[in-house]
Amino acid sequence: MSAADLTAGREGPLADTDTRLSRTPRVAVADAALRDRLERIWRTEPGLKGWFGTVDHKEIGKRYLVTAFIMLAIGGIEALVLRLQLAGPNKHLLTPEQYNELFSTHGMTMIFLYAGPVLSGFSNYFFPLWLGARDMAFPRMNALSYWIYLAAALFLYAGPLVGAGPNDGWFNYVPYAEKAFNPGINEDIYALGMVFLGISTSVGAANFIVTAARCRAPGMSINRLPIMVWGTLTASAANLVVIPAVSLAFFLLWMDRNLGTSFFTVAGGGEPLLWQHLFWLFGHPWVYAIVLPAMGMVSDGLPTFSRTPLVGYTLVALSTVATMLLGFGVWVHHMFATGLPGLGLAFFSGASIIITIPSAVAVFAWLATIWLGKPVFTTAFKFFAGMILLFVIGGVSGFMTASVPADWQLTDTYFVVAHLHYVLIGINVFPVCGATYMWFPKMTGRLMDERLGWWNFWTMFLGFNLAFLPMHLTGLLGMPRRIYTYDAGMGFSALNMITTIGSFVFAVGVLMFFWNVIKSRRSGAIAGPDPWSGPSLEWTIPSPPPPYNFAVIPTVASRHPLWEDQLDETENRSSFEEGMTLDEGKEALAVSILDAEPDRILKMPSDTTAPFWLTVATAVLFAGLLGKLWWLAALGGIGAIASLAFWNEPRTKLLEREPDAHEERRNG
């Protein structure tokens, strides 16, 4: 777009050469002076203010990752206690109520506080690096989404800490969760905490979408995006429209419990199934949201270690989108046993079976990639390849429960517990571990230990299968899920003992993973910028990356910018050394959505504590609602409004407004 277009159709005077409104970016080869200047512009101040105020996506990404891994550890310990209780018949380690709280808290922790956020952490750290950008589209919102995630996690954990954790499962069915049957404060904390957490997820989703759409290197048209970007993009698009469903459901539940409404109780004309619809309208897309980005990790990771491009890039990208689109229409498969009309069941059953097709496409693409490539058997590769097997097992058991008659047999048995762990551990935890081995060197500059990695992978892989494969059988034999114990004569005892042993083996594997991370951070071998000879942009910059990521904006000529010489598919080569400098302040580039043509120079916000204070105010608001201290809630609300007003005040530095007359004078 030229400066003339920009004024076309507008009233008022604007000369073509108005340097206030447009600029021809300087193009140069990156040199030390430029790096120095950018470093000064982009770096986060040391000290408390910098710590609370940073908007650097890498810092935020790391915080997300660390917090999510802590949640994984906590949720894991909870699971081990559950398994101890179930190790043999008639054990009394936990009371039934404690068991209820523990499995519900485990589910909540793993699903909402680990599996989603850990992927956000990776995407936060790597979106700009994969895309050739200097930061996310909205850095302050990025900080906000982390702070709210942290605050909501603390809020949700206030329950278990005072012995009032959620106790109706992670999907929290009414009428169990209604006040009449569950008078404690447990469900109030869970309900409000989930509404609170929803803000974080929504804000993050919006940010990922706009970043993927607008903040890319020139030339990175949408058919050149890494699959991981496709995964996070589709997951975010889904989250944006389905999070409101669950937030609303939890809010209405809170009203039922505290303000005497009857949305979900039959007595007042409410409908318990409304809860299930609202929950699963969200819940099913959400389970895709916590696996699609992880599948993207595999789609980008396997080719890197197989030293060949992903087979069927376009098909895999499309299948990612197709899975999500179909995913909106299958939520009722969680409700097959609720007595809905047969025709509806048939429809949703069909849709759920069809949805396995795009997943199968991805699986075949991965297998073909390994087959055609020259795999390097690193730990990361093992995790990615191991995932394929677990995905197939989890997919098959899912396929089985998608059929209504089978589901009527299997629902609420350990078969479902086996299925969901194959899917969640197989398609989330394994890829996440692989991704950590792969990208840890980029984040820290050091490699993780491969020898320990070997032990790490095999312990996790064997432990996991030992624990969860027999569980299918436990379920087929009829052991219901969510029971705190069982009798000796039922034929479950041996299987449960195996599962418990497997769980502990798996946990030892996870421990090795954490140990490897902690140890390698200090003493791992120095990685250099590109330890795996990877194909994508993040490998062109130093490890760890400087605050500004790219000294000059790269230009992308193909899907595999760093493999162009080997592949020799195109006439042109991408450029990393020479490019736009954008160094007249904290600047980034925006591009057009489809072709990634340069479109605009963005002025990026500097560090600010506004997101932190907004989070504090919102937490006060929710605490007020929880205690029904309306004055406290009002105080929080006012604080939130004040933070928002301060945040959104148009700023000259961001070119959101005209400078004041006196400011003009001051600036000469």
Partner 1 sequence: MAERIVSRPEALPLGPIGGRGIGWNGMVMLVVAEASLFGYLLFSYYYLAVSNPPGWVLESEPSLKLALPNTFLLLASSVAAWWGERGIRKDDRGQALGGIGLAIAMGAVFAIVQGFEWKDKAYGLGTSSYTALYFVTTGFHMAHVIAGLMILGALWLWTWRGFFSPLRMLPMANGIVYWHFVDAVWLAVFSTYYLSPYLGVGQ
CA–CA separation, 73 and 65 (whole Å): 12
Applying CB under 8 A, does 340 fall inside the site for partner 1?
A: no
Q: Say if residues 352 and 402 touch (Cβ distance below 8 Å).
A: yes
**Contacts to partner 1 from residues 535-564, by CB under 8 A:** 553, 555, 557, 564
DSSP 8-state code for residue 24: -
Cα angle at 119 between 454 and 200, to 5 degrees? 150
When the beta carbons of 284 and 446 are compared against Cu ion, the nearer one is 284
Q: Residue 58, interface with Cu ion (CB under 5 A)?
A: no
Under rule CB under 5 A, residue 284 binds Cu ion? yes
Instruction: Indicate which single residue of 68, 71, 94, 115 sits in contact with ligand HEM (rule: CB under 6 A).
Output: 115
Query: 231 vs 180, 304, 319, 489, 648, CA distance in Å?
Result: 42, 17, 10, 47, 31
Sheet (strand 553-555) strand order: 27-29, 575-580, 553-555
What does 141 bind: partner 1, ligand HEM, Cu ion, none (CB cut-off 5 to 8 Å by kind)? partner 1
Name which position in 112, 127, 138, 331 contacts partner 1 (CB under 8 A): 138
What is the distance between the alpha carbons of residues 362 and 318, in angstroms, rounded to a whole number? Answer: 10
* Strand 575-580 to 553-555 pairing: antiparallel
Window of 257-265, 425-433, 566-574, 586-594 that interacts with ligand HEM by CB under 6 A: 425-433
Residue 284 touches which of ligand HEM, partner 1, Cu ion, none (Cβ within 5-8 Å per kind): Cu ion
Is residue 320 involved in binding partner 1 (CB under 8 A)?
A: no
Distance between CA 442 and CA 464 in Å, rounded?
A: 28
Q: Which does residue 76 bind out of partner 1, ligand HEM, Cu ion, none, counting CB within 5 to 8 angstroms by kind? A: ligand HEM
When CB distances are held under 5 to 8 angstroms depending on the partner's kind, the choice from partner 1, Cu ion, ligand HEM, none that residue 645 binds is partner 1
Residue 83 binds ligand HEM, judged by CB under 6 A = yes
Question: Does 216 participate in binding Cu ion (rule CB under 5 A)?
Answer: no
Identity of the residue, 144 or 402, whose beta carbon is nearer to ligand HEM in the bound complex: 402
CA–chain centroid gap for 597, Å, is 28
Contacts of residue 565, Cβ cutoff 8 Å, sequence gap at least 6: 573
Provide, rounded to whole angstroms, the least separation between the CB of residue 18 and ligand HEM.
Answer: 54
Burial class (CB in 10 A: 0-12, 13-18, 19+), 392: middle
- 17-26: list long-range contacts, CB under 8 Å, 24+ apart: 23/584, 23/601, 25/580, 25/581, 25/582, 25/589, 25/598, 25/601, 26/580, 26/581, 26/583
Binding window for Cu ion (CB under 5 A); candidates: 279-287, 469-477, 500-508, 546-554: 279-287
**Does residue 130 belong to the site contacting ligand HEM (CB under 6 A)?**
no
Q: Which is nearer to ligand HEM, 57 or 106 (CB)?
A: 106
Based on the shown chain and the rule CB under 8 A, indicate whether residue 255 belongs to the binding site for partner 1.
Answer: yes
Give whole-number Cα distances, 539 to 70, 420, 517, in Å: 28, 35, 20
Distances (CA, A) of 548 to 23, 55, 207, 353, 439: 20, 12, 19, 46, 18
Binding part of the chain for ligand HEM, among 224-232, 373-381, 419-427, 528-536 by CB under 6 A, reads: 419-427
How near is the Cβ of 339 to partner 1 at its closest, in Å? 12
Nearest CB to Cu ion, comparing residues 41 and 249: 249
Q: Which of residues 601, 616, 629, 632 is near partner 1 by CB under 8 A?
A: 601
What residue number has its CB nearest to ligand HEM?
Answer: 107
Output 297 or 617, the one with its CB closest to partner 1: 617
| Binding-site member from 169, 271, 482, 511 for partner 1 (CB under 8 A) | 271
